[in-house]
C-alpha cells in the first residue's frame, strides 16, 4: 500500500511497497493491482494523488508529476534548451560498433538493450554492465521519488551475483518499474488519447459538404443564399467520418486569411493568417464554430485545429498590434526586396522579414507571410494567451502546430541569428494551455529535432522525415514513399518503439496530407500495401479528405491534391474507382482488426535474405497470445517472403500484402 513521503514540507508523494500491510488504507488505489509484480523489485512507480496540498503559493500539481514522468521515462534532464544527458551508446564488445538507445530515458534504454541482447546475445554487451548502473543513477537522481529504485539498483550492483545474473535481474527490475510508470502515465496524462488517434483532415473550402451528402444518400438541407461551412455541417456529416473509423476531425485552414500579398485565385494560403484568435468569417461565426465542436463531440469525435506558430500574413492583427512581435528593422529608405516588406506603425516605417526557414545555407521565405520573433518574451506570452483563448472559448481538443521545429531556440537562433531566452517557448506554453484543459493534445509538424519537441511536452509528432538517428531515415512517409525495404524496416522499428513508450511524444503516420501529392501518384501500384501497413499501425494515423476516393485536382504549379492557389471543390462522385476500393478495404480491415485485438504493440519483421518486403507482428496487450502479422511489398520489385519461425512462405508483387493469423 502507500507510504507518505514529505519533501520540503509541501509536496506529498505516495509509494507502493509490496511488503507493506494491505490493511494500512481502506481506499483503493491505482497501483493495488500490481502488488505482486516481482519478487525482485515490485517496480511500482509512485502513484500521484492530486491532493491540492499547498503551502504559501507553492503547489505540486498533476502536471508537475507528468513532467517528471516524462523526464525519467523519455527525455532526461534538460538545461534550458540543452539536454543534460545524451542517449546511451551500446557498444558491441567484439565488433566495436555502437547502437544508440531509442530515447534518453528508461523506456528507450530498456527497449534498445533488450532488442540488442535478443539479436546478438547479452554477452556481447556485458562489458558495459557497470556503465548501465552509472547511467541509470544519473538519469534517476534528479527526481526524488525514484530513490527506491536507485537504492535497489545500487544493492544489485554491489551484490555477489555474477554479471549475467545481475544483467537478467536488471532487466526484470526495469521492466516492472517501467510498467508502473506507464500505468501511471495512462492514468494521469489525459492527453494520451492522441497517440493512437485516427485523424481525418479536411479542407473546409474544398470539402463540398452538399456533394458528399448526395453520394452518401443524405438529403442536403434547404438553404438560401451563402452556405457557411460550420453552420451547415451536421451531426450526420460527422457520422460519415466516424463510420470510416476516425475519432478526430481536423478542419484545416479555418483561420482568417490575409488580403495583402495574397497569392493565387483560390482565396489565399490557409497558412497566411491575419488573425490567430478567431475563425474565418467565410466559414461561419465564432458561435457557428462552437456549435461545430459541440456537434462533433456529440458524434463521438474530437476536434483539433491549426496553430500557425512561425508566421502571420502581411496585414495581420498582431503586426498592427506591435511590429516588435516580428523580425524587423526601422528604416526610412527602401526596404530590401528579397525577404522583406514595408510596414507602417505610428508614423514609422519598418522593414519586416518574410516568414522563412533555413535552406541550403540561406533562408527560404514565404512571400505572403511575416516572420514572428520568438526571441521576444512579450510575443511568447501573447501567443500563449491566444492559444488559451481557443481552449476556453471553443473547447477544442488539440492543436496541430505548423512547422513546429522552426521555433525551437536552437533552430530559430541559427536561422535568424538571434539570442534566445533561456527556456523554450513551447515548454511553458503547453503547460499553461493544459492548465485550462488537461486533455488538450499537441501535435508537431516537424521534420527535425523531434526529440527536442518531445522534451518540450508535445504529445505526438509527424513521422515524415527523421534523419537525426544513427540508422538514418526513420520517418514513415519518406521511407515508405522511397520503397527501400531496409529503410522501411528501420522506420517500422521506430514507430513500434514510439507506440510502445508513453513517456514521450508518439508518432503520427500517414501516406498523404494537404502538403503532399495524392498518395496514388506517389505510391502507384504499391498503394494497397502502403495504406494497410499505415492504417494498422498502433500509433496516431492521419488521412486527408478526398484521398479515400482518389480525388486529385493537382495543377502543374502545385502538386497538392487540393491546391491552395486555385478554387477547388471535391467532386465526391468522381475520383479513381481502384483507389476508392483500396481505401474501403483498408478501412474495413483495420477497423475489424483493431476491434478484435484492442490495444496492441507491434514487432518488426526483418527480411533475413534482404528481401523486398516489410512487415510487423501485432500483439494484443490484453491477450498476448492473440497475434497477427501484416506483410507487404512497398518496393517496386517482386518479393519472396520466407519467415520460418511462423511457417510463412509466399511471393508478393509490388503493392500486395497478406495478413496472417499467428494466434495459438
pLDDT tens for residues 52-63?
333 334 456 888
| Lowest-confidence region among 98-102, 315-319, 331-335, 440-444 | 331-335
Residue with cell 518574410: 354
Please give the sequence-ordered ranges of beta strands (E in DSSP) within 289-354, or none if there are none. Answer: 302-308, 311-312, 328-330, 340-345, 348-353
Q: Give the domain range for residue 644.
A: 600-661
Cell of 397: 481538443
* Per-residue pLDDT at 653: 96
Alpha carbon distance 270, 268 (integer Å): 6
Report the percent of the chain where pLDDT is more than 90.
83
pLDDT class for 466, splitting at 50, 70, 90?
Answer: confident
- Do 293 and 394 meet the contact criterion of CB atoms below 8 Å apart? yes
* Strand 89-91 versus strand 460-462 pairing type: unpaired
Residue 254 and residue 392 in one domain: yes
pLDDT class for 451, splitting at 50, 70, 90?
Answer: very high
The CATH number for 386's domain is 3.20.20.80
Count of domains observed in the chain: 3
Structural domain contains residue 331 = no
Residue 302 and residue 162 in one domain: no
Residue 121 and residue 264 in one domain: no
* Per-residue pLDDT at 217: 58
Would the pLDDT of 21 be above 60? no
Would the pLDDT of 369 be above 80? yes
pLDDT class for 11, splitting at 50, 70, 90?
Answer: very low
Residue 399 and residue 280 in one domain: yes
- Average pLDDT on 551-579 reads 96
Residue 612 and residue 574 in one domain: no
- Average pLDDT on 111-119 reads 97
Would the pLDDT of 284 be above 50? yes
Alpha carbon distance 416, 528 (integer Å): 43
Alpha carbon distance 611, 652 (integer Å): 11
Structural domain contains residue 457 = yes
* Per-residue pLDDT at 46: 55
CA 341 → CA 233, 363, 403, distances in Å?
Answer: 39, 15, 22
Structural domain contains residue 31 = yes
Alpha carbon distance 467, 190 (integer Å): 30
- Do 493 and 114 meet the contact criterion of CB atoms below 8 Å apart? no
Q: What is the pTM of this model?
A: 0.91
* Per-residue pLDDT at 48: 53
Answer with the one of 568, 596, 624 that is the final residue of a domain: 596
Residue 141 and residue 255 in one domain: no
pLDDT digits over 525-546, tens only? 999 999 999 999 999 999 999 9
Residue 297 and residue 417 in one domain: yes
Structural domain contains residue 345 = no
Alpha carbon distance 248, 296 (integer Å): 9
* Per-residue pLDDT at 148: 94
- Average pLDDT on 124-137 reads 98
Structural domain contains residue 59 = yes
* Per-residue pLDDT at 641: 94
- Average pLDDT on 351-371 reads 94
Structural domain contains residue 330 = no
* Cβ-proximal residues to 556 (8 Å cutoff; 6+ apart), any chain: none
Would the pLDDT of 560 be above 70? yes
Structural domain contains residue 338 = no
- Do 553 and 545 meet the contact criterion of CB atoms below 8 Å apart? no
Q: What count of other Cβ atoms lies within 10 Å of the Cβ of residue 10? A: 13
| Lowest-confidence region among 215-219, 405-409, 651-655 | 215-219
Residue 528 and residue 608 in one domain: no
Answer with the one of 188, 221, 249 that is the final residue of a domain: 188
Residue 587 and residue 611 in one domain: no
Residue 88 and residue 202 in one domain: no
Residue 228 and residue 101 in one domain: no
State whether residue 630 is helix, strand or coil: strand
Answer with the one of 138, 155, 188 that is the final residue of a domain: 188
Residue 285 and residue 396 in one domain: yes
Cell of 642: 520466407
Alpha carbon distance 533, 377 (integer Å): 44
Alpha carbon distance 636, 639 (integer Å): 9
- Do 302 and 193 meet the contact criterion of CB atoms below 8 Å apart? yes
pLDDT digits over 257-282, tens only? 999 999 999 999 999 999 999 999 99
Structural domain contains residue 159 = yes
pLDDT class for 47, splitting at 50, 70, 90?
Answer: low
Q: Which residue has the higher pLDDT, 383 or 28?
A: 383
Amino acid at each position: 500500500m502507500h507510504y507518505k513521503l514529505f519533501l520540503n514540507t509541501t509536496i506529498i508523494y505516495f509509494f507502493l511497497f509490496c511488503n507493506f500491510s494491505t490493511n494500512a488504507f481502506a481506499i483503493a488505489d491505482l497501483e493495488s493491482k500490481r502488488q505482486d509484480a516481482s519478487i525482485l523489485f515490485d517496480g511500482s512507480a509512485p502513484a500521484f494523488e492530486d491532493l491540492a496540498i499547498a503551502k504559501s503559493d507553492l503547489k505540486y500539481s498533476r502536471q508537475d508529476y507528468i513532467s517528471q514522468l516524462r523526464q525519467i521515462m523519455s527525455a532526461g534532464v534538460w538545461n534550458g534548451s540543452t539536454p543534460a544527458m545524451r542517449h546511451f551508446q551500446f557498444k558491441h564488445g567484439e565488433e566495436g560498433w555502437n547502437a544508440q538507445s531509442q530515447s534518453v530515458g528508461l523506456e528507450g534504454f530498456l527497449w534498445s538493450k533488450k532488442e540488442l541482447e535478443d539479436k546478438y546475445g547479452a554477452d556481447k554487451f556485458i562489458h558495459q554492465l557497470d556503465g548501465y548502473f552509472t547511467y541509470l543513477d544519473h538519469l534517476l537522481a534528479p527526481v526524488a521519488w525514484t530513490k527506491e529504485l536507485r537504492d535497489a539498483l545500487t544493492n544489485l550492483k554491489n551484490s555477489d551475483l555474477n554479471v549475467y545474473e545481475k544483467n537478467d535481474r536488471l532487466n526484470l527490475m526495469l521492466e516492472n518499474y517501467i510498467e508502473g510508470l506507464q500505468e501511471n502515465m495512462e492514468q494521469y496524462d489525459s492527453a494520451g488519447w492522441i497517440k493512437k488517434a485516427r485523424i481525418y483532415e479536411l479542407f473546409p473550402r474544398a470539402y463540398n459538404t452538399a456533394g458528399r451528402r448526395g453520394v452518401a444518400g443524405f438529403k442536403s438541407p434547404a438553404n438560401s443564399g451563402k452556405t457557411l461551412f460550420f453552420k451547415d455541417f451536421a451531426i450526420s456529416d460527422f457520422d460519415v467520418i466516424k463510420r470510416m473509423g476516425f475519432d478526430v476531425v481536423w478542419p484545416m485552414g479555418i483561420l482568417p486569411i490575409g488580403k495583402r500579398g495574397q497569392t493565387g485565385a483560390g482565396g489565399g494560403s490557409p497558412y497566411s493568417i491575419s488573425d490567430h484568435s478567431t475563425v474565418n468569417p467565410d466559414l461561419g461565426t465564432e458561435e457557428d464554430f462552437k456549435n461545430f465542436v459541440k456537434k462533433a463531440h456529440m458524434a463521438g469525435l474530437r476536434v483539433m485545429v491549426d496553430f500557425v506558430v512561425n508566421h502571420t500574413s502581411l496585414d495581420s492583427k498582431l503586426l498592427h498590434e506591435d511590429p516588435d512581435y516580428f523580425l524587423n528593422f526601422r528604416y526610412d529608405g527602401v526596404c530590401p526586396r528579397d525577404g522583406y516588406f514595408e510596414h507602417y506603425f505610428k508614423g514609422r516605417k519598418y522593414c519586416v522579414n518574410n516568414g522563412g526557414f533555413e535552406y541550403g545555407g540561406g533562408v527560404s521565405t514565404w512571400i505572403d507571410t511575416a516572420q514572428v520573433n520568438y526571441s521576444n518574451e512579450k510575443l511568447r506570452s501573447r501567443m500563449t494567451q491566444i492559444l488559451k483563448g481557443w481552449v476556453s472559448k471553443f473547447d477544442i481538443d488539440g492543436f496541430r502546430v505548423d512547422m513546429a521545429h522552426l521555433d525551437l531556440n536552437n533552430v530559430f537562433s541559427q536561422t535568424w541569428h538571434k539570442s534566445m531566452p533561456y527556456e523554450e517557448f513551447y515548454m511553458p506554453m503547453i503547460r499553461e494551455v493544459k492548465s485550462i484543459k488537461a486533455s488538450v493534445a499537441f501535435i508537431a509538424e516537424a521534420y527535425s529535432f523531434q526529440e527536442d519537441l518531445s522534451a518540450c511536452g508535445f504529445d505526438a509528432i509527424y513521422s515524415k522525415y527523421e534523419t537525426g538517428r544513427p540508422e538514418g531515415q526513420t520517418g514513415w512517409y519518406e521511407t515508405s514513399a522511397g520503397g527501400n525495404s531496409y529503410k522501411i524496416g528501420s522506420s517500422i522499428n521506430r514507430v513500434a518503439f514510439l507506440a510502445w513508450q508513453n513517456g514521450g511524444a508518439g508518432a503520427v503516420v500517414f501516406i498523404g496530407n494537404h502538403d503532399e501529392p495524392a498518395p496514388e501518384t506517389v505510391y502507384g501500384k504499391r498503394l494497397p500495401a502502403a495504406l494497410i501497413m499505415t492504417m494498422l499501425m498502433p500509433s496516431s494515423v492521419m488521412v486527408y479528405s478526398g484521398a479515400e476516393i482518389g480525388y486529385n485536382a493537382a495543377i502543374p504549379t502545385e502538386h497538392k491534391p487540393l491546391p491552395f492557389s486555385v478554387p477547388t471543390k471535391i467532386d465526391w462522385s468522381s475520383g479513381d474507382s481502384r483507389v476508392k476500393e483500396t481505401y474501403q478495404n483498408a478501412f474495413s480491415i483495420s477497423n475489424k482488426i483493431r476491434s478484435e485485438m484492442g490495444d496492441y504493440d507491434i514487432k518488426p519483421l526483418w527480411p533475413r535474405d534482404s528481401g523486398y518486403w516489410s512487415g510487423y507482428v501485432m500483439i494484443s496487450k490484453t491477450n498476448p497470445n492473440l497475434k497477427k502479422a501484416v506483410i507487404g511489398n512497398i518496393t517496386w520489385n517482386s518479393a519472396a517472403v520466407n519467415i520460418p519461425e511462423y511457417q510463412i512462405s509466399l511471393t508478393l508483387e509490388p503493392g500486395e500484402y497478406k495478413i496472417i493469423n499467428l494466434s495459438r
